[in-house]
Structure 1
Amino acid sequence: MPLAITLHLLAAVIWVGGMFFAYLVLRPVAGQLLEPTLRLTLWTQVFKRFFPWIWLAVLILLITGFWMTFELLGGLARVGMHVHLMMTLGILMMVIFLYICYRPLPRLKQAVEAKNWPQGAHELNLIRKLIGVNLILGILVVCVAGIGRFIQV
């Protein structure tokens, strides 16, 4: 169980921490210092390097989360409401991430390759909004994970 919890926590930290850094630190600086064409190119390269880590985090979160729930804690009927909430929010985050990977991200890459900067800006703005939603959900999951077992529902 300690290994599963450790891997689970590390995967969550990489995902949520990475979104926090990208959204609240890198994005404002890039917006302030870089012209739009360089900004769009920067973000395609950031996503190219960051998203494989998120794929790994998602895989680890699913495996360790379900393993702990079903093998160590006795299944969904035996875990607290906070585990159900974490699982629901986490799966929602994964669905949003999958949507980003298969809809606006390929269109962003195509727009940057074609130097279609207005289309690229549109796709990046959509990705920004979706990552913002995922960041909020991720922070909620972290809070639920931290205090959930102490709250009786």
Structure 2
Amino acid sequence: MPTYKALSLHFLPETKSMPLESLLSFLHIASVTIWVGGMFFAYACLRPAAAALLEPAQRLRLWRAVFGRFFVWVWIAIALILASGLAMLLQLGFAAAPRNWHLMLTSGLVMIAIFAYVYAGPYAALVRAVEAEDWKAGGAALGRIRQAVGINLALGVLTIAVATLGRLIA
């Protein structure tokens, strides 16, 4: 099993204040935190509060506005997660990478595919429904988003477990 020294990125140039390895690790973890933490907040906190306090039209307008802002950050997070993760993985080499890194990559790619589905499918339908004030169609789209976010949230927590506890299975 490789040690943390074996995982260094010495082939990459260093900045004056910190090695690039530390920067890549920070970008990776911060981006995961934004994405998975945002899903947790939306699913466990905002969704039940909005359902309890808002009428369907207000609730759907709220979700359209929330997703419009959050999904920009998710796209940025995905780009940073992929760039930083692949940079660290390529430095070590796929064959030498621990098994949990391969599991993280696989689950991350599944999460990205689910997000792309949400963005292109149910979220686009939600936007159209809110613009047309078709609250029934908007509610159906929001229900599909909720289901997909629930799956992605579970995968995100599982991926974090694999990342942090993965050395136990390597």
The bucket for the TM-score relative to the shorter chain is: over 0.9
| 1:63-142 equivalent positions in 2, closer than 5 A | 63-71=83-91, 73=92, 75-142=93-160
The percent of aligned pairs where both chains have the same amino acid is 47
Moved over 2 A (4+): none
Residue type of the alignment partner of 1:147: L
RMSD: 0.7
CA deviation after TM superposition for structure 1 residue 129, in Å: 0.3
State which of 60, 71, 78 in structure 2 corresponds to 1:51: 71
Bigger radius of gyration among the two: 2
State which of 1, 11, 18 in structure 1 corresponds to 2:31: 11
TM-score by structure 1 length? Answer: 0.96
Query: How many Å separate the matches in 2 of 1:79 and 1:40?
Result: 44
TM-score by structure 2 length? Answer: 0.87
Residue type of the alignment partner of 1:28: P
Which residue of the partner structure matches residue 13 of structure 2? Answer: none
| Structure 2 residues not aligned, in runs of 5+ | 1-20
CA deviation after TM superposition for structure 1 residue 151, in Å: 2.6
CA deviation after TM superposition for structure 1 residue 10, in Å: 0.2
| Structure 1 residues not aligned, in runs of 5+ | none
Query: How big is each residue's C-alpha offset from its partner over 1:40-87, in whole Å with a ceiling of 9 and x where there is no partner?
Result: 00000000110000000000000001000002x2x1110111001000
Matched, 1:148 2:169: no
Q: How many residues align?
A: 150
